[in-house]
Amino acid sequence: MDFKQSLFKIDSYPVGFSMPHANKHIAGINLSKLSLETLLPGKWIDDNILNAFLLIAQDIAINDEMKVLSFETFFCEKLMLGIISDGHKKWLALNEIWTQDIWLIPIHINSNHWTLLVVVFPHKIFLYLDSLKGQPPNQLIHNLCGFIENYRDARIRKLTRWQDWTLHVPIDIPVQNVSSGNCGIHVCAWVYIIITGTAFQFSDMHMNCFRKGMAHWLLNYDLIRKVNSRENLRTALLELPVNPGKIHRNIRQNSHIPFEFSSTLEYCSSIKTLLSAMRE
């Protein structure tokens, strides 16, 4: 497969996708036949599919000189409870998270809906993308700011004057059909747009093609860089409290499009170019 080919325009699943023993292992994530079948139309993708896709997207982004870090689905579950495991703290150090410009954080709402939080440190932006156009959970930004405050380094300390930050919750984004099971596919579509700079005006009608494109990536892409196994994170038993404090209260929230772009899609597809220009 040509990995530069648009995932929105793939019209068939990869060879071997329907084989009885189809499977793939990506950095300790087991994509079993059952997991892969959640990429079929109308299915709700599972954690393994989402985590593996985010890892591949991160790998492609880094290979293209972007500073991107994807978080696993398990991270936000712990964050919302106000606890970060010892395993996560080790992972933070191993992945040099404070050198990254973009964080991609999948959010599991009420155990039945996927959304995406994008943190763009150079732009001082939290971007919350929800295919049902909901609001972020009450404690999400609160606890994330507390997490950053607790573990940040000198570089991030300069960027986290919270009164300079904005939480964008855009309303001009594509909406899913509630019964389509496409919330996780919308999350992956936004990740794809951000890391590739693709400005494709997608809708829920394109999600079946995107599911096929995801299957091609997951079965055919081999990680270029060594990634610390995500399985190691789940083995951590020591859990320490995150003190969220009251540092989030100065963050502005609005539904406006960042930096006066014409659309959220235009902004997301421009992040790659904007950050590259800032480094020059």
Distant-in-sequence, close-in-space partners of 262: CB < 8 Å, separation ≥ 6: none
What is the pLDDT at residue 236?
37
Query: What tokens does 126 get?
Result: 């939290």
In DSSP terms, which residues pair with 69 in a beta bridge?
103
Contact 251, 166 (CB under 8 A): yes
Q: pTM score, two decimals?
A: 0.89
Tell me how far apart the alpha carbons of residues 113 and 46 are, in angstroms, rounded to a whole number.
11
How many alpha carbons lie under 13 Å from residue 96 in its C-beta half-sphere?
7
What architecture (CATH level 2) is domain 28-279?
Answer: 3-Layer(aba) Sandwich (3.40)
What is the pLDDT at residue 121?
92
What is the pLDDT at residue 28?
83
CB atoms within 10 A of CB 89: 15
Instruction: Report the SS3 class of residue 202.
Output: coil
Distant-in-sequence, close-in-space partners of 116: CB < 8 Å, separation ≥ 6: 104, 105, 106, 107, 128, 129, 130, 187, 190, 191
**Helix, strand, coil percentages for the chain (3-state, nearest 5):** 45, 15, 40
What CA–CA distances, in Å, run from 266 to 39, 60, 104, 167? 27, 20, 18, 17
What is the pLDDT at residue 229?
45
Query: What tokens does 120 get?
Result: 């763009």
Contact 148, 103 (CB under 8 A): no
228 in the Ramachandran plot: left (φ > 0), alpha (ψ -120 to 50) or beta? beta
Contact 189, 276 (CB under 8 A): no
Sites in the chain below the pLDDT cut of 70: 1-4, 20, 83-95, 151-159, 224-249, 280
Domain range summary for the chain, segments of one domain joined by +: 28-279
pLDDT in tens, 228-250: 444 444 443 334 445 554 545 57
